Structure 1
Amino acid sequence: MLISTSKTVALCSFSNLINAADRAIMPLAVLQMGPEFNWDMHAQGWLLSAFPIGYLSSQIIGAKFSKRFGGKNVLTFAVLFWSLLTFLTPLFAYSYATLVTSRILLGIAEGLGLPAVVHIFSTCVLADERSRAFGYLVAFGSIGQTLAAFVCPHLTWRWMFLLFGSSGFVWVLVWIFSFKEIRILTEDDDFIIIPPKLSSRTRWYDYLRHSQLWSIYLAHFSMSWTSNVITNWVPFYLSKFLGVSATALSFTAVPYIVNSFAGILAGHLADSLIMGNWTVLSVRRLMTVLGLVGPGICLIIFISLDNLVMAFSVISICMAFLACNSCGHLANHLDIAPNSSAITFGISNTIATVPGIFIGPLTAELVVKSGGRWLPVFMIAALVNFVGSIIYYSHSGSSQII
């Protein structure tokens, strides 16, 4: 990888680290903010759901803006805007409506980020280096969540937002003065494969009519349901029902560390199986089933535990299984829609954002209506995973359809 390419990948990966960290602050900060501002569970639930509302609306817009205005400009605006919103959160918090609005705007800004990075990678990173580039990008996202989970419990909630918001300003300065957008003009035919176009014109209807694509969309939806439950509510559950202190919640960083390493190992395993006697479809199905059924079982076990060490261990195993999805249904986009994988992934990621919108208030409603019981929350999440894995296994494919 050339020095200029390495610098581009590093800077973009750090932007994703800040992106992931900033969105992970609120589920930890709300543990302090709730009692201070007298928010009940419903208020906290809607607050946690505000971010996905914005995030849902801006991903396709981010892709179009990046193509029109350039990935550097869009990413600069996105990081600057979401960092400013994060930094000013302590001021917004005194008005619940203003705070919810700021969280929606934060979601919109962060939703612009990844499409801009993908656009930059498509023009600045050679074909045989893109797997590594995306590997670093995803890994740094997990590191961002890990960093937030480790640092935030040791801070007051105001300093959580001030610290991570400031880090975004530093990144913007480095980015503006050190990144120069380049475009690859030629590529060697020895290492680039251009997939055939099955149709001269692809309509939006084509992205919605294939059962293979819907199996991916629904698997992604299922994965996101579990991820949102773990990210938004497990810290609250550990604090309120297992008596975990605020500082001990820093151990919630461990599952994200496990997730990072598991994703790398799963990727190597998947490639090894494909190079052996396994078909691509068999590997995609195996990894998706592991990535959905495994977490479903872990959540059922988790709700029955009252031992803190065991609870952290099971959630860590759950996150390890979730990492398998990266080389399962998430990689399947490149198999069946190589010419349009960015669009199909955008659609998939938009659908996968939906659980984040209503899981907050739904969880609060389930817990309140059931008299403080959390069994329905985790059982529903497990059921969604099981159904998603069955649909994917029975309808997925690996042959190009678009």
Structure 2
Amino acid sequence: MGAFLNKPETKKYNESGEGNGLRYGVASMQGWRVEMEDAHHAQLTLNGTLSDWSYFAVFDGHAGARVSAHCAENLLECILQTDEFRREAIADAIRAGFLDLDKKMRELPELSNGEEKSGSTAVCAFVSPKQIYIANCGDSRAVLARNGAPIFATQDHKPELPTEKSRIVQAGGSVMIQRVNGSLAVSRALGDYEYKKVMDRGPCEQLVSPEPEVFVHERCEAEDEFLVLACDGVWDVMSNEALCAYIHSLLRLTDDLTTVTNQVIDTCLYKGSKDNMSIVLVVFPSAPKPDPEAIRADRELDETLRQRLTALIQKSADSEEREDTSCHFSLVLKQLLQENIPGLPPGGGLAAKQALLDKIYREFYPEHADSSDTFDCQAELAEAFQTN
């Protein structure tokens, strides 16, 4: 499978916290990739006079984890140390901090010898009492939700975008198969110094630029529900609208943000994501609260799914289809997809319930107790989830 494992690594890293009127949850998973290259940073309160400010960031490394890890440790400080930040020109400070970090990293011995080829996308947010400052560089994405729908999303920096392609071409490069010089799938990133060697051009005019786009939003306490920062392993299989609707529905079932974020990346895995996955969920006071009616409806849905899956398993138990035991689970789930089952989680669909369905299936076939059996035909099943 090339750069992929035979079975996904589903062990998760979790983190959560509460302060400054915010709650946040983090979940990350290596998934199918042979290495975990994501990193993140979550800090509820900044030092000194910024105690009522919070900072969150996700970094998606490629060709190694060194740059993403270094960015997670140092980007915040680079931003805070800029002259622009001292002048309270926050948007300019964020931009300057990104450029300063990229310049400093280039001088690190492990990166300057030419052997280290890694880079990292970045998406970060500063949440102050009145504003939200959001910056992205690459294809990690931030989405702000109100009423269960996105009201703002960053745009992924892809080489085929006209402005990005123009810069690449002017720097002497090309865009082939939607990649910089046919190789790199993002047009802005930290690190990636082999794409930043054009001597007569500035740092933001290279084949790959470290410059972020920075956005400022006024907070609306009556409407702001949550902010999502996530790498492309999530967005590859979830649209902005689907993910916001899904998280909104999950928050009506539980206030445990570890449970919510774990559920999101599990669902993305079932939907077919082949990448590392990391998500930071920042929840504002107006986010949905657990609702007894929603919880009751979810339990009724689980029971309906149990009854329907049990009927399908029993129907196919003695058929010729049962001979292929490795894909039997996939077969019955695809049959279940053909049924009109009301009340499935918005944005998540049946994939959001695959863990439950897998558990029910194992009750009938305990010989499949190894959870890796679930993924024997996962690619086929993920395609069914996507087209349903």
TM value normalised by structure 1 = 0.30
Higher helix fraction: Structure 1 or Structure 2? Answer: 1
Higher strand fraction: Structure 1 or Structure 2? Answer: 2
TM value normalised by structure 2 = 0.31
Higher relative contact order (CA 8 A, sep 6+): 1
Which structure has the larger Rg? Answer: 2
